[in-house]
Structure formats: C-alpha cells, structure tokens
C-alpha cells in the first residue's frame, strides 16, 4: 500500500520535535566543544614529598635492568640529593641516564662477534637516531625482531646443506613454520643439537 501525502505529513509533524532535538543547533554546531584540561599540567612528582621521591628512586634501583649510570645517579641522590634535585632527576635526569646506559648496552651488542647483520643494522640505526626513545625501543623490541631475522638466515643456511639429516631438516622447517622469535632461537640454541646433523 502506497503512503498518501496526508500520512507522510502526519509522520513528518510527529517526528519533527525528535529530529530537532537530535541535531545540534546552528549556534552550538559552529562552536567547537571545549575540553576540560587543566591550564597547567605538572609532573606526577610535583606533589611528592621527600620520602615519596626517595621511594620512587628506590623503585628504579630495584629494577634489574637499571644500568650503571642510573644506579650511580640514583644512589647519589638518595645519599645527598635535595627534594628539588630528586624531583628534577625523576622528571628528566632519569631518562637521560637511562639513555646513556642503553647506548652502552647497544655498544656491547655491536662488539659481540655473534651479532648478525640485521642486529648490527638495527643497532646502528638506533644509535644514528640518537633519541632516548629510539635507543630504548631497539632494546625492548627491535633487538628481538632483528635477532629473529638473523636466526631465520642461519636456519636457511642449515637447510641449504645437502648433507643434513631428515630429522634436522624437519626440526628446522618446524621452527621456520612457527616463525616466532622464540621458536627460531630455541632451534638454534637447543633444537638442532637435540636432533643431530
């Protein structure tokens, strides 16, 4: 059944208030919504007293990944630091000390004769970038992925050897099929020796 003009008019009149309330008025549509952001956003350390600042520094010291520079500066602050010095270090100094420790860690990776091409390439890119964020990102995720790339190459070299056993070929292929950095590394460190050549 086709709706008549009268039915359409009644429907439009009935829906008009709902449609008007659902759409923004021209006055409010032109003005962007205001965000309720504090005018001066401070550091999370601004409201901490000396004891809280010391606890924050002790937490950093308890991290087993804290390097020599971080440990040295944190201990000096705990021994002789003022509230202002501790606060400043937590806000900026810690990041810089961590970046220095990270650069040393990357230098050790580059000095390792077992580091493969992808690891060396990614490590150098992180150092060339120079930012604390790039150096940290390499150590937290980039190293693992670059190592996996080098591990794949090493496994393909094993597979290229015509004299390998069927068991070793199957184990190498299984590691490649799995594809995770952990599976590749496990095969190279353990799996290939369990099945033999």
Dump pLDDT digits (tens) for 23-44.
444 344 444 444 444 445 667 7
In a domain, 12, yes or no: no
Write the DSSP assignment of 155-180 as a string of letters.
HHHHHH-TT--HHHHHHHHHHHHH--
In a domain, 182, yes or no: yes
In a domain, 180, yes or no: yes
In a domain, 124, yes or no: no
CB neighbourhood size of 72 (10 A)? 13
Overall number of domains in the chain: 2
Give the max Cα distance, the chain. Answer: 89
User: In this structure, is the dihedral angle defined by the CA atoms of residues 6, 8, 10 and 12, taken in order, positive or negative?
Assistant: negative
Range of the domain at 106: 46-111
Residue with the two structure tokens 């080098």: 150
Are residues 148 and 105 part of one domain?
Answer: no
CB 130 within 8 A of CB 103: no
CB 13 within 8 A of CB 5: no
Q: What is the Cα Rg of the chain in Å? A: 30
pLDDT tens readout for residues 118-150 = 999 999 999 999 899 999 999 999 999 999 999
Are residues 170 and 138 part of one domain?
Answer: yes
pLDDT tens readout for residues 78-134 = 998 898 999 999 998 999 999 999 999 999 999 999 999 999 999 999 999 989 999
Q: State the average pLDDT over residues 150-158.
A: 94
Are residues 50 and 93 part of one domain?
Answer: yes
Q: State the average pLDDT over residues 162-190.
A: 92
Q: What is the structure's pLDDT at 45?
A: 76
């Amino acid at each position: 059944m086709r709706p008549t003009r009268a039915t359409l008019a009644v429907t439009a009149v009935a829906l008009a208030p709902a449609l008007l309330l659902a759409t923004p008025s021209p006055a409010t549509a032109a003005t962007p919504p205001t965000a309720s952001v504090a005018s001066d956003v401070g550091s999370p350390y601004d409201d901490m007293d000396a004891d809280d600042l010391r606890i924050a520094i002790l937490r950093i010291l308890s991290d087993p990944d804290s390097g020599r520079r971080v440990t040295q500066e944190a201990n000096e602050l705990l021994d002789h630091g003022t509230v202002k010095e501790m606060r400043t270090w937590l806000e900026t100094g810690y990041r810089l000390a961590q970046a220095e420790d990270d650069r040393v860690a990357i230098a050790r990776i580059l000095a390792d004769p077992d580091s493969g091409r992808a690891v060396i390439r990614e490590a150098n890119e992180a150092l060339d970038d120079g930012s604390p964020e790039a150096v940290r990102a390499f150590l937290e995720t980039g190293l693992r992925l670059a190592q996996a790339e080098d591990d794949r190459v090493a496994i393909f070299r094993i597979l290229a050897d015509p004299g390998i056993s069927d068991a070793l070929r199957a184990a190498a292929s299984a590691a490649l099929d799995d594809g995770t950095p952990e599976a590749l590394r496990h095969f190279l460190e353990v799996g290939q020796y369990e099945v033999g050549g």
